Chain A
Amino acid sequence: MTAQVVQSDSAISASCAGDEPAFRTAAGIPVVFQSLPPPEGLATGNPALLRLHLEYWQLHLLRDFDQLLCLEGLSGVEHLPHQIETVRKVLRRFRGRVLLADEVGLGKTIEACLLLREYLLRGLARRVLILVPTPLVSQWREELASKFHLEFSTPPRTGAADRLHFWQNTDRVLVSMAFAKSRKRAELVTEVPWDLVIVDEAHHCKNRATQNWRLVNALKRRHLFLLSATPVQNNLLELYNLLTLLEPGHLKTETDFKRQYVRRGNPRDPRNRERLRSLLGEVMVRNTRSLVQMDLPARYAQTILAEPQGEEAALYEMLNGYLRRRRAPLDAIGGKRLIGDEGEETVVVSAVEDDTLPITREAAPAGAGLPPLGRRQLSTLLLAAGSHAGALAQSLENIAGDDPAAAPLLEQARRVGRTAKDERFLELLRQSRGQKMLVFATFRRTLEHLQQLMTREGVPFATYSGAESEGEKDAAVAAFREQLPVMLCSESGGEGRNLQFANTLVNFDLPWNPMRIEQRVGRIHRIGQTRDVFIFNLCTAGSLEARILALLDEKIRMFELVVGEVGSILGNLQGGEEFETLVLDLWLRSHDDRDLQQSFDSLGQSLLDAQEDYLRTKQLDEALFGEEFQ
């Protein structure tokens, strides 16, 4: 079900100018009436039919702000009381211009999306622009669609995005800040009016001299939501700059602000705290964990490396060779960004309309006269290989028809029986007897394989995936809760369900995007969980997944972070790429395993830097706002 803008309201804003003579209020606000044609047609003598019309419009009136519309029809969103309270507050008090500065993990994105839905449903907004850091574009798009039933357009990776037509005619745009702020596009984005603008990780607009700040400041917008858990990163002026975007003059001039609120010699330490807090309270909402009593138990992660042997090892060897032969030549990839999948936007390549094109156009055909594989094909094959030989075989089937060189690889994948990961998984099952275990796999073929494996081993299980009906899903969750020790889940499995009765999670395979891993963990590590949570990550030694895990687990200790912190760290990553894009780029650019490892080491260093940035800022914000601020 897609949330719709109320018909009558969208018509108003579309044609308010010049329809009818304007009245003016005492302060001179023009009131422009748009009248619609009178009802026509044969008259009825049945009052009940007329009452249908009247009742229909009376029901429109029922939607006052005491009753939030955004909550109805949302099945996959677990909204918490503080989020609902924030939505109400923003609707009533903040008049659609607010800095949502909840601590990490408390659901600022949910709050913003609830507000967005409310504004759309009430007809308070029609044209919406969402600006986010590049690594978070896909997550936003998915959450908007799957949880809030809101479809947003991402600008195409073609010249069309550089024409006014796209920005004028697309009512809901989700775009990365990096893409929108380029001079040419910034002119277009700021030329058209927006009813609502949402800026995620808004601390990137902390500096008035940056393109980010200037872009948001120049936008013609009616309502503005800024989202940042860490609005102050280095000094209080950053907060001043953010709030100036919301309400210029709310904190007076910069000189006034410094004089009144910034301690000389220490720009991080505010003077007149109470007065500042009171002013901030008019434009900012900050929920803290202690305030909303949302402290979750600890979580512990363990990586289980499976060393492939025999046929399986040979398969990976063959695959690696095959993929390296069929990728674009390295000189064609160079240092430039590559033509990517949906959602990648920072491409500076000329008009390319086709997503399925190989990674570069200039690239000479590689291997057996065939064109290089496209990014999507490459990443699917690499991900499938990281999941299971069965999933890889299925992915290869699509290629083998065109490329005879893939046939032996396909045969090899089919020959692989029980994999090293299977063995380690079964060991884990045996060790974890008595525990409720949630097992995630990305590929359907992998899920099927796990079903067969567990049936052969006599381990009872439930399955929760997109293939099951709602009733079957309900039954699966009930059976898992009541009696079964294991539930197999696909990527979207269990979202919005209460699965906190389980405290063990197994990633049989691993998405490349850390946010997706975080979403999986969030199924059991959430409000209502009373026990420590254990996460087991299975991966094949030497695989891309193993390298990603090494980065996330060993470098930034992702699995021990508070929910939501990964997003903040990724948002701080320089370069503004989706994480999975980065991973694929590293693979594509590497000559061999050593080369690849060096690239991953370098990425790890960037992640560490981003984490340090985040932690430093977090400390500062905690000191500044304290626990009592809301």
Chain B
Amino acid sequence: MTAAVQDRLHSLATTLLEHRGALVDWPAADRPGTVMLPPEVAVAAGAANEVVSLACEPSEGGLTVNLAGDFLEWSGRLLAGVPSVGAFRVRDLYLKRTEVEERIRRTFGWLNAKVQFREARETTVEYHTWRFHAALNSEDRWETCFAVSLNAVSGVEVELPDPLGLWELQPQSAPRAKAATSYPRATDMARRRVLRLSAAFLDRMDARLGRDRKRLHDYYHALLRESEKKKARGHAPPDPEKLEATRRAVSLELRRKLAELDERYAIAAALRPVVLIRTEVPVLAVDLSVYRKQAHRKHTVYWNPLIKQFEPLCCSRCGQGAFAAAFSNETVEPICQKCIQHDQEGKGRQV
């Protein structure tokens, strides 16, 4: 374990234990320290006593803070008592109202509707930044952490900077516990992201599976061929029943091995929402009237001062953001180009 990793572990353990009410005296990662634990924390950490030593190297009776021992397990238990939803606001962002119409015209493309600019108003929108940990388990393993940020009103994914890194960030004055309505949409986005990020891993699994399948096919087919050859070379005519039985057995074994192989390579993906950061951001909301054939509907697009651009519309079919959108006939819902293309090809929705 490198010194840098040790320092990170030291920092995590110290902050976590102090947050849970422990008195920690552990000045440096490379030397052992001492901690006085509240009884419930001692139980959660599996400590033998309420006063124990704390070190990166294992010590008898003490708590060990490293990646291989049970640290990640007991710290995981302690973390369960630490809030994982944050509520913040960003204030004093400059919103420029001029040339809004022109900017919209330059940013969006309306493929089959007329769009009329109505008004631009300053408002506040909550953004939900979901931080996920994803792991794919197959014959091999892949894992990563990433964030998905959504405009909680429009549901569109926005590439926000890390809210926790914003200097303008302030806690919300009276944060409330409210159900995170954006979660289904966020997990949907996160799944796509996982598949995209793990493309190389998935390719590798595909290639390996292909090789293994081929090896099995070659092997068992060769076995079958050998049994046929024996038939040709044999002086006495082979017992057809016996031959058929061999064929069936080999084919059965091949199927069993292939099924085993498929099971081995099946990918189990776990998507764990680690943290939700709710951030109120002042934005410029621009109301638009969209006319499609006989129907019309009001839509709103948002100018986001954190990314300094308009956010895309949210495709009503796939939930992806779209700057060039068509609209459905009756409900005048935005549809992205990909979905239109799939509609035209009659393929329906694809990932």
Contacts and interface: CB of A to CB of B under 8 A. Distances in A.
Interface of A: 1-4, 6-9, 11-13, 16, 23, 25-27, 29-63, 67, 69-73, 75, 95-96, 121-124, 193, 220, 222, 247-250, 252-253, 255-256, 469-470
Contacts of B93: none
A70 to B, nearest CB: 7
B69 A9 contact: no
Candidate in B75, B210, B266, B269 with the most chain A CB atoms within 10 angstroms: B269
Interface in B128-161: 131, 133, 135-141, 143-145
23 contacts: A3-B69, A4-B70, A13-B268, A25-B267, A26-B206, A30-B266, A32-B268, A34-B269, A34-B271, A36-B273, A42-B85, A42-B177, A43-B175, A44-B175, A45-B86, A46-B171, A53-B84, A54-B145, A55-B12, A59-B8, A59-B12, A124-B141, A249-B220
A220 B260 contact: yes
A117 to B, nearest CB: 8
B202 A56 contact: no
9 A-B pairs with least C-beta separation: A45-B171, A249-B219, A72-B68, A16-B268, A43-B87, A27-B206, A43-B175, A44-B83, A39-B84
Contacts of A11: 270
A56 B79 contact: yes
A36 B270 contact: yes
A58 B5 CA distance: 11
Interface string B81-98: 011111110000000000
B208 to A, nearest CB: 7
Nearest to B212: A247
Interface stretch (B107-115, B274-282, B284-292, B330-338): B274-282
Contact of A57 (B70, B145, B205): B145
Contacts of B69: 1, 3, 72-73
B9 to A, nearest CB: 7
Tell me what chain B mostly uses at the interface: helix, strand, loop, or mixed. mixed
Contacts of B75: 56
B235 to A, nearest CB: 19
Given A25-B202, A47-B86, A69-B68, A61 B273 contact: no
B238 interface: no
B231 interface: no
Given A3-B70, A7-B73, A49-B83, 8 more contacts: A31-B202, A33-B270, A42-B85, A57-B133, A73-B69, A75-B58, A123-B141, A248-B215
For A30, A35, A36, A55, the residue with the greatest tally of chain B CB atoms inside 10 Å of its CB is A35
A50 B84 CA distance: 6
A519 to B, nearest CB: 22
B263 interface: yes
A259 B73 CA distance: 54
Contact of A95 (B72, B140, B275, B277): B140
B86 A44 contact: yes
Interface in B1-23: 1, 5, 8-9, 11-12, 15-16, 19
Q: How large is the interface on B (under 10, 10 to 19, 20 to 34, 35 or more residues)?
A: 35 or more
A49 B226 contact: no
Contacts of B175: 42-45
Interface string B168-186: 0111100111011001000
A62 B275 CA distance: 19
A65 to B, nearest CB: 10
A31 B141 contact: no
B301 interface: no
B15 A48 contact: yes
Contact of A29 (B70, B209, B219): B209
Interface in B218-267: 218-220, 222-223, 226, 257, 260, 262-267
B299 interface: no
Interface stretch (B33-41, B59-67, B117-125, B318-326): B59-67
Contacts of A222: 139, 264
Contacts of B144: 61
A173 to B, nearest CB: 20
A52 B208 contact: no
B68 A256 contact: no
Nearest to B224: A253
Contacts of A193: 263
A255 B85 CA distance: 64
Interface of B: 1, 5, 8-9, 11-12, 15-16, 19, 58-60, 64, 66-70, 72-73, 75-76, 79, 82-88, 131, 133, 135-141, 143-145, 164, 169-172, 175-177, 179-180, 183, 187, 191, 194-195, 202-203, 205-206, 208-210, 215-216, 218-220, 222-223, 226, 257, 260, 262-278, 351
A27 B210 contact: yes
Contacts of A23: 191, 195, 351
Contacts of A69: 67-68
A248 B260 CA distance: 12
A4 B223 CA distance: 43
Nearest to B58: A73
A35 B79 contact: no
Contact of A220 (B76, B195, B263): B263
Contacts of B191: 23, 33
Central interface residue in B172, B180, B270, B277, by most chain A CB within 10 Å: B270
Given A6-B72, A250-B215, A31 B267 contact: yes
Contact of B68 (A32, A33, A51, A70): A70
Contacts of B66: 72-73
Given A39-B276, A53-B275, A247 B141 contact: no
A331 B82 CA distance: 67
B59 to A, nearest CB: 8
Contact of B206 (A25, A32, A49, A73): A25
B68 A73 contact: yes
A403 B273 CA distance: 65
B267 A29 contact: yes
B238 to A, nearest CB: 16
Given A27-B209, A41-B177, A253-B223, A55 B8 contact: yes
Given A6-B72, A38-B183, A73-B69, A123 B138 contact: no
A37 B179 CA distance: 11
A470 B72 contact: no
B58 A51 contact: no
